[in-house]
Chain A
Amino acid sequence: MKDRSDYARKGIGRGKSVVALEYSDGLLFLAENPSATLHKISEIYDRISFAGVGKYSEFEDLRISGIRLADYRGFAYGREDVNAKTLANAYSQALSAIFTQQMKPFEVEILVGQVGDTPAENELYHVLFDGSVTDEHGFVGIGGRAEDLTQHLQDSFKEGWDLKAAVRAAVTALAETEEREVPADQTEAAVLDRNRSRRKFRRLTDDDVASLLSS
């Protein structure tokens, strides 16, 4: 089991990190990602989004499975019956089964976030390669250097800050952890904004990020 954990951790450590932060209007996800088309962050359902680090093919598979589960449940029951907790549980079960039963564990860590009508109702789940789940509040960093990243976020986090402050803190935390500059065109960012209509998910373009970082 220890071999498997080490193998998975090593795989995750090779990839880039993602941070998630709560801000006044919802949740922000931000990652260092040089690709403009291969996403780490994605929409799952009306109020729910997904972020993954590690091996692309594996978290992509989990992402699509999540969209399928969410769309199926929403179609069969009702749109408001789809929630992040159900998804986090499904991911946890799947990853746990893979970790114990398959030849190799998945080299991934994922986040499932859901924006609530009020900040107190936001939900953020962190699922590890072995299926263990933690319920996060305020901020979280995932990836190879998650501990450093989370420490940096802890230092800067302020409850109820706006998007601009949150984006700045996220980029700063990534840059300090990696000990290099993280320019806007090397980032991927998205928000779950509770002020939007049905689909709360919105990607921030590089220009959006740049303008939030400047001035």
Chain B
Amino acid sequence: MRGDEPQPSALGFGGQSGFGANPSFMDLLGQGNPGAAQPLQPPAGFPIPHGTTILALKFEGGVVMAGDRRATEGFSIADEKIEKVFQADDFSCVAIAGAAGQATEIVKLFQVELEHYEKVQGDRLSLEGKANRLAQMIRQNFPMALQGLVVVPLFGGYDERRAEGRLFRYDATGGRWEEENFLSTGSGGKAAKTTLKKRWRSGLSRAEAVRAAVEALRDASEEDVATGGPDPVRGIFPSTKVISSEGVEEVPVEEVRAAYDELISGPE
């Protein structure tokens, strides 16, 4: 819980001020607790779980986003089944690398922020608007980033107005860049990017894009200790989501497993 609940005014909860209704949930939280923006600062070297490799690439109908399942805490494995790709709203997803606790909180706040705006305004934010909002949230986390709690997300979605998938990457200061074709980040991001560079071409089908994502994460897990590889024995595979004009769809684990099997069964 972040702080005291905002006091209801005579006009109802968190009464209106200024001109027009403020559709931001973040501002509402700030109203309840002005100190919310100043986080506690953990001592340096404090053990904190970190999420690692995430990636996203465009295909002909939208965007595929995927992440490995490992979280590390120093040289230990904190979690082998963590989820790093989250549905943000009906037409977008956010994937996170970095301090896992901090990142999960940002994702949760981002999800509520988008839904809150949609309900108050009666309209979804544009994809551009969502990407900007996320940038502002990452920028607010900058004091924590300086303490080592860096959160670096990828944001991808289907732009209903332009009728195409779009990708955005961020840095720890809240810098935001739109990416043309594919991107990856996290400790294994470099290795994943090499694979994506080889596999990506324009007009990929959905299945080809899922295969490329699985291959890139497999390669990352072979180059980077902090990236978890597919584990067919225990049935742990990268979490993969597809965003298209139909909305967000979790790729079934059987499909990811099949893509992985195809990958190891030899050259195509």
Contact = CB atoms under 8 A, between A and B. Distances in A.
Contacts of B28: 68, 71-72
Given A72-B28, A72-B32, A75-B25, A66 B12 contact: yes
Nearest to A65: B12
B119 A94 contact: no
Interface in B1-40: 1-2, 5-6, 8, 10-16, 21, 25, 28-29, 32
A90 B16 contact: no
Nearest to B2: A76
Interface string A52-68: 00000000111011111
Contacts, number: 76
A98 interface: yes
B15 A42 contact: no
B116 A67 contact: yes
B13 A69 contact: yes
Nearest to A203: B122
Contacts of B120: 64, 67
A31 B218 CA distance: 55
B6 A65 contact: no
Contacts of A97: 10
A76 B8 CA distance: 16
Contacts of B5: 72, 76
A18 interface: no
B112 interface: yes
A214 interface: no
Contacts of B32: 72
Nearest to A46: B115
A25 interface: no
A101 B10 CA distance: 9
A68 B2 CA distance: 15
Contacts of A152: none
B119 A43 contact: yes
Interface residues of B, number: 25
A202 interface: no
Nearest to B14: A68
B108 interface: yes
B112 A44 contact: no
A94 B112 contact: no
A74 interface: yes
A215 interface: no
B112 A74 contact: yes
Contacts of B1: 76-77
Contact of A90 (B6, B8, B21, B112): B8
Nearest to B115: A71
A94 B8 contact: yes
A51 to B, nearest CB: 14
Contacts of B122: 37, 39, 42
Contacts of A43: 119
Interface in A61-102: 61-62, 64-69, 71-72, 74-77, 90-91, 93-94, 97-98, 101-102
Contact of A65 (B15, B25, B29, B108): B15
Nearest to B123: A37
A97 B5 CA distance: 20
A66 B10 contact: no
Interface in B68-115: 108-109, 112, 115
A87 B12 CA distance: 11
27 contacts: A42-B122, A44-B119, A61-B11, A61-B16, A61-B21, A64-B12, A64-B16, A64-B21, A65-B11, A66-B12, A66-B13, A67-B119, A68-B13, A69-B8, A69-B14, A71-B119, A72-B25, A72-B28, A72-B32, A75-B109, A76-B1, A76-B2, A76-B5, A91-B12, A93-B8, A94-B11, A102-B10
Interface of A: 37, 39, 42-44, 60-62, 64-69, 71-72, 74-77, 90-91, 93-94, 97-98, 101-102
Interface of B: 1-2, 5-6, 8, 10-16, 21, 25, 28-29, 32, 108-109, 112, 115-116, 119-120, 122
Given A42-B122, A72-B5, 20 more contacts: A43-B119, A44-B119, A64-B16, A65-B12, A66-B13, A67-B119, A68-B6, A69-B8, A71-B112, A71-B115, A71-B119, A72-B14, A72-B25, A72-B29, A75-B29, A75-B112, A90-B8, A94-B10, A94-B12, A98-B10
In order of increasing CB-CB distance, the 6 nearest A-B pairs are A65-B12, A69-B13, A65-B13, A68-B14, A68-B13, A64-B21
